[in-house]
Amino acid sequence: MQELLRRFLQHEFLERGLAENSIAAYRNDLVDALDYFAERGLDQPGSVERSHILDYLEECQAAGLETASLARRLVSIRMFFRYLARENLVAHDITDVMQAPRVWRLLPELLDHGEVDRLLRVFRGKSPLERRNRAMIEVLYACGIRASELTSLRLEGLHLDEHYLRVIGKGDKERIVPIGRPARRALLAYLEARPLLDRSGRAETVFLSRTGLPLTRARIWQLVVEAGERAGIRKHIHPHLLRHSFASHLLDGNADLRVIQEMLGHADIATTQIYTHVDRTRLRDIHRRFHPRA
């Protein structure tokens, strides 16, 4: 199994061009999972069944692993077994586990539309920092980009007249992301005040700290947490929660899954499909509440 893992990681790096950070994340997730399987005598890929994967995820959950980390481990396992099936190293891909009811509890938490509105109303001041913070949250939600992509967003990547951003994602892959009117207005308001933060006058990244340096991921995290607290939202608020909500709300509006995949920058649609299950949860709830024979 360890040799197969080495070959899988080499394939992801050489053939798919994934970044070193992504490869390291896959490695960490899969080493842990394969150790779990080996301890139970499952030392060949063909001996692993869906129930073993579900048991592993539930044990991780019981150990206190965060929902986002659980979801990422599930994606890593899916990608590994999909590779094995494609290379005819196993008879078939057993990792269509997201259909299983026991996995529904592992899906990411989301903000509803009202919570998003409250979050976006937190930073309403006219100072450069208030404008920056509002624009930052608007862009995170309206474009569904990662915090790391926000930190690296450059002025040359803003095409606001055409209503889109050019974003550099994982593996240095570039993608085009539409930006809606409210987020565009907030971003333009921030850009008017941005020269007051750009002390050198030569900063190329869009979002700057009070000292004129690029805003860090840690600071973005702090600001989003602060906004959640001020909005009175009793959920574990973090930048990626806005990305999850972006994708789920698009799906609620009947957006095509392939389009959502492209906007999120997912290399594989299996990663995007997690949001279809979030949506199905909502549909089942509506059916249960309103159908006379539910």
| Of residues 73, 60, 67, 62, the one with CA closest to residue 27 | 73
The reply to whether 287 belongs to the active site is: no
pLDDT confidence of residue 279: 64
The reply to whether 244 belongs to the active site is: no
Give the residue-averaged pLDDT of 128-150: 95
Task: Considering the candidates 7, 170, 185, 282, report the single residue annotated as catalytic.
Answer: 170
Task: Considering the candidates 73, 194, 249, 266, report the single residue annotated as catalytic.
Answer: 266
The reply to whether 219 belongs to the active site is: no
The reply to whether 146 belongs to the active site is: yes
Examine the pLDDT at 205 and tell me if it is beyond 70.
Answer: yes
Structural domain of residue 24, as residue ranges? 2-106
pLDDT confidence of residue 101: 40
What's the rounded Cα separation, in Å, for the pair 131 and 186? Answer: 7
Examine the pLDDT at 33 and tell me if it is beyond 80.
Answer: yes
Give the residue-averaged pLDDT of 73-92: 87
- Range of 60-69, 135-144, 262-271 with top mean pLDDT: 135-144
Task: Considering the candidates 82, 131, 134, 146, report the single residue annotated as catalytic.
Answer: 146
Structural domain ending residue among the three candidates 48, 71, 106 = 106
267 and 229 within one domain:
yes
* Model pLDDT for residues 83-108, shown as the tens digit of each residue: 988 888 887 887 765 544 445 445 56
The reply to whether 291 belongs to the active site is: no
What's the rounded Cα separation, in Å, for the pair 77 and 214? Answer: 35
Task: Considering the candidates 7, 52, 240, 277, report the single residue annotated as catalytic.
Answer: 240
* Model pLDDT for residues 217-228, shown as the tens digit of each residue: 889 999 999 999
Task: Considering the candidates 132, 194, 238, 243, report the single residue annotated as catalytic.
Answer: 243
pLDDT confidence of residue 115: 94
Give the residue-averaged pLDDT of 19-45: 87
117 and 101 within one domain:
no
Give the residue-averaged pLDDT of 174-196: 95
293 found inside a domain: no
The reply to whether 236 belongs to the active site is: no
78 and 50 within one domain:
yes
* 68-77, 126-135, 192-201: least confident range: 68-77
How distant, in Å, are the alpha carbons of 53, 57, 71, 228, 230 from that of 65?
A: 15, 9, 10, 22, 27
Query: What global pTM score does this model have?
Result: 0.65
217 and 256 within one domain:
yes
Contact 36, 68 (CB under 8 A): no
| CATH (domain of 60) | 1.10.150.130
pLDDT confidence of residue 291: 75
